[in-house]
Amino acid sequence: MTTAPRLLGRPVFPEVPPASVDATDGPAQLDRPVPKLPSHPDAARGALAATSGFLFWGLVPVYWKQMQSIPAFELIAHRMVWSLVFLLGVIAWQGNFPALRDAFRSKRLVGLNLLSSALLTANWTIYVWAVNSGHVIESSLGYFLVPLANVTFGSLLFHERLRPLQWVAIGCAAAGVGLLLVRLGHAPWIALTIAVTWAGYGLLKKKSALGAITGLTVETLLLFPLAAAALLWWHHTGEGALGRVDVRLHVYVLSVGVITALPLLMFAYGAQRVRLTTLGLLQYLAPSVQFLIGYFFYHEPFDAVRLQAFAVIWCGLAIYSADGFWVQRHSLLRAAGAT
């Protein structure tokens, strides 16, 4: 009998390997030094690659802003098509076509990836539309909320027992969202939709046995017919961008596959070489950079109400992160005591 995947204490991005933290660990002897786990020989390069990937994700709103004149749905269709072209090149370079072929032999795996690709498309579409509509800050809030959405999914869907501090963290997030609802008169639906779709995507990715690159290739393959048909139709009706925009926009549109896959490659390389705790900290780089870009570069509104709401949510994230490190410390001490 298989058990449901644990969601507690994992980083935002779905390709990260699961944490081996037992939520039921009891108190440990805190005066003993924490045992040092052996480092990967390429840990420094892995940390640099993961950091670069997260920073890349943080800066990507600047890229999408260059294509504000193109509708979000068309940009996502281009993203699907040109990402697939680039990813197939990576798969060919890796000699990994057998794994790609095997992925389509399992109906369960195809179904999982079809559903995950639908969530990924929804996430991409809302995010690109939000960025190009002047909502970079609220988009960053969505990715800040993802770790807490993961914990909530774990409790609601798999009845995972939450620790007291995790309840406090979720309460802080709910309070922050409630503050925006009461004081501004509407819920931050962009942030909530981004958080839910990305957390749901991560949940499905954890059920899939495919690696990061192979998995994304399968997802884009499944939606490629729809994306290609849409692009052909828009071109036929004269609404498509290709052949009708200037050279600069053509370069941006055709480079979308590289922009999509490059940070994923850097992240996948780093995730195999650095510790989960390191990834747990680095995951906040992307939304932090997005927030700073929205505030300082695009001068999006950020009044006292938004500041208060963000501060409450950031406090929840700090509590969530501190609780995760505390539990992992206990787990390491218990492991050391057992040897």
Q: Tell me the average pLDDT across 130-149.
A: 92
Confidence label for 214 from pLDDT (cuts 50, 70 and 90): confident
What would the two tokens of residue 168 be?
């406090």
Query: What is the sign, positive or negative, of the torsion defined by CA atoms of 11, 14, 15, 20?
Result: positive
By the 8 A CB rule, do 119 and 146 touch?
A: no
Most confident range, picked from 27-36, 154-163, 195-204: 195-204
Task: Using the predicted structure, report yes or no on whether residue 180 has a pLDDT greater than 90.
Answer: no
H/E element holding 218?
Answer: helix 212-236
Q: CA 309, CA 300: separation in Å to the nearest integer?
A: 16
| pLDDT tens profile 267-294 | 878 877 877 767 777 888 999 999 999 9
Confidence label for 24 from pLDDT (cuts 50, 70 and 90): very low
Residue 247 is predicted with a pLDDT of: 93
**Of residues 93, 211, 203, 86, the one with CA closest to residue 147:** 203
| pLDDT tens profile 80-118 | 999 999 999 999 998 989 988 988 988 888 999 999 999
Confidence label for 35 from pLDDT (cuts 50, 70 and 90): very low
Q: Between 243 and 337, where is the model more confident?
A: 243
Residue 207 is predicted with a pLDDT of: 81
Q: Which residues contact 142 (CB under 8 A, 6 or more apart)?
A: 127, 188, 190, 191, 192, 193, 194, 195, 198, 287
Q: Which residues contact 264 (CB under 8 A, 6 or more apart)?
A: 15, 53, 212, 213, 216
Residue 220 is predicted with a pLDDT of: 93
pTM: 0.81
What would the two tokens of residue 137 be?
């800050």
Task: Using the predicted structure, report yes or no on whether residue 9 has a pLDDT greater than 70.
Answer: no
